[in-house]
Amino acid sequence: MKKFLPLLGMAMTMVAIFSSVRDLAAQPGHYTTQPSRIVRLDPAFDRIVPKDAVLEKVADGFAWVEGPVWNRAEGYLLFSDIPNNAVMKWNAKGGASLFLKPSGYTGAAPFAGVEPGSNGLTFDREGRLVLCEHGDRRISRLEKNGVRTTLADRYQGKRLNSPNDAIFKSNGDMYFTDPPFGLPQSFDDPQRELDFCGVYRLSKDGKLTLLTKELGAPNGIAFSPDEKKLYLSDYKRAAWLVYEVKDDGTIANGRTFFEAAEFKKNRPGSPDGMKVDVYGNIFGGGPGGIYVFSPEGKHLGTFDFGVPTGNCNWGEDGSTLFITSNTAIYRIRLNTKGAGF
C-alpha cells in the first residue's frame, strides 16, 4: 500500500521516514498523469482481454483508493479511501457515496500519520464485511447490526503492525499480510511492537498462526483457483512470490514468481494487491498499473495508468475487473471470470 502524501511540503519533511521502502516518485501527486492504455505483450493476453476492451473510469476524486470488493447479493462495489478513513460504495446507478466512516481508526485523538483508514476489504462466507484496519491495527468484521468485532489484533501478546490485505480460503480460514505502512512512521514507528512483517492465517476456530516473516513488506495476497498455491507481493523487495499450501494450511517452498525491479526504475509504485481468474492468471497491482501474468509467470500484458496502482477485484457477473488506481476507480470487461465466481 503506497503512502499518500497530500502536500508536497509534508512529503519533503517525511522523506527520511519513507525512503527505506518507497521513493517520492511512487507517491500520489508526484508524477505526470497520462491516459490509461492497454499494453498487449503476448497472444494469450488477447484471449483474456477483448480487442475492443476499454478501461472505463467510473469514479475519481478520492485521496488514495484500495481494497475493492464486490457485494454480489446487493450489486455494489466497496473500496477504501485510506487517508480519508472511509469505505466508499459505488454502483452504476447511484455512483459513489460514503458507506462507512471511520473505517480504520476509531481513536479520539487526531491520527498522527497519513493512512488511518481501512486498506484491504473482503467478505466472509456469511456475507459480512471484513476490514484490514490501519489506524486500529487490527482485522475487524462488520456485523449485521453495525457493530465491529475484532478478529485479530495481536500475535503472541504483541500488537500487529497494520494489517494490509486479507483473503478467505474456502474452508473459512483467513490469510492476511501485516506490513507497517499504516503506522505514522512506518518501519521506524516507536509504537511498533513486532520486529518483523508477518503473513498470518486465522483459522475458523480463532487460532492465529504466523506463516512466514521472511518478506520485507508483505502486501497483496491471493490463492490459485485450486488453493494449492498462495501468491504474495513484497512491496519492499519489489517482487511477486508464490508458496505451496500444505494440507495443514501452512505454506512452504516459497520462490520468486516475478521480479519487478525493472518496472520500478521509471514507474511509480511496487507490487501491491492482486487477484486471480478461473484459469489461474494473476492480475497484480504494481508500478504504474495492473500486470497480468500466466500461471507459469509469463508477463502477458499490462493495464497501464502511469500512476501508483494498488489493487483490483472482480465484480458484476464476475467478468468485470474493478481497479483502484491512485485516486480513481476503473472497470474493464474481460473474457475471463474471477476465481470463485
Which of 70, 202, 200, 79 lies closest to 123 in space, CA to CA? 70
| pLDDT, average across residues 166-189 | 97
86-126 pLDDT tens trace? 999 999 999 999 999 999 999 999 999 999 999 999 999 99
User: Which pLDDT score is estimated for 199?
Assistant: 98
Residue 304 binned pLDDT confidence (cut-offs 50, 70, 90): very high
Place of cell 494440507: 247
Whether 220 has a pLDDT exceeding 70, the answer reads: yes
In percent, the amount of the chain with pLDDT more than 90 equals 89
Q: Which residues make Cβ contacts (< 8 Å) with residue 28, sequence separation at least 6?
A: 2, 4, 5, 63, 64, 307, 308, 326, 327
E-only strand ranges, 157-281? 158-159, 166-168, 174-178, 198-202, 208-212, 218-223, 229-234, 239-245, 251-259, 274-276
> What sign results for the dihedral spanned by CA atoms 324, 329, 335, 338?
positive
What is the model's pTM?
Answer: 0.91
User: Which pLDDT score is estimated for 21?
Assistant: 32
**φ/ψ bin of 225: left (φ > 0), alpha (ψ from -120 to 50), beta (otherwise):** alpha
Contact 74, 319 (CB under 8 A): no
237-257 pLDDT tens trace? 999 999 999 999 999 999 999
Length reported for the chain: 341
User: Which pLDDT score is estimated for 35?
Assistant: 81
- Rounded Cα distance between 258 and 296, Å, is 10
User: Which pLDDT score is estimated for 26?
Assistant: 37
Which of 9, 19, 8 lies closest to 185 in space, CA to CA? 19
User: Which pLDDT score is estimated for 10?
Assistant: 36
> Higher model confidence: residue 21 or residue 74?
74
Question: Which domains, and CATH codes, for the chain?
Answer: 24-333 (2.120.10.30)
Weakest-pLDDT range from 17-31, 52-66, 99-113, 274-288: 17-31
Residue 30 binned pLDDT confidence (cut-offs 50, 70, 90): very low
User: Which pLDDT score is estimated for 33?
Assistant: 56
What letter would DSSP give residue 2? P
β partners of residue 341? none
Weakest-pLDDT range from 3-7, 104-108, 165-169, 299-303: 3-7
| pLDDT, average across residues 166-195 | 97
Whether 32 has a pLDDT exceeding 60, the answer reads: no
User: Which pLDDT score is estimated for 224?
Assistant: 98
Which of 57, 13, 9 lies closest to 29 in space, CA to CA? 9
> Higher model confidence: residue 34 or residue 154?
154
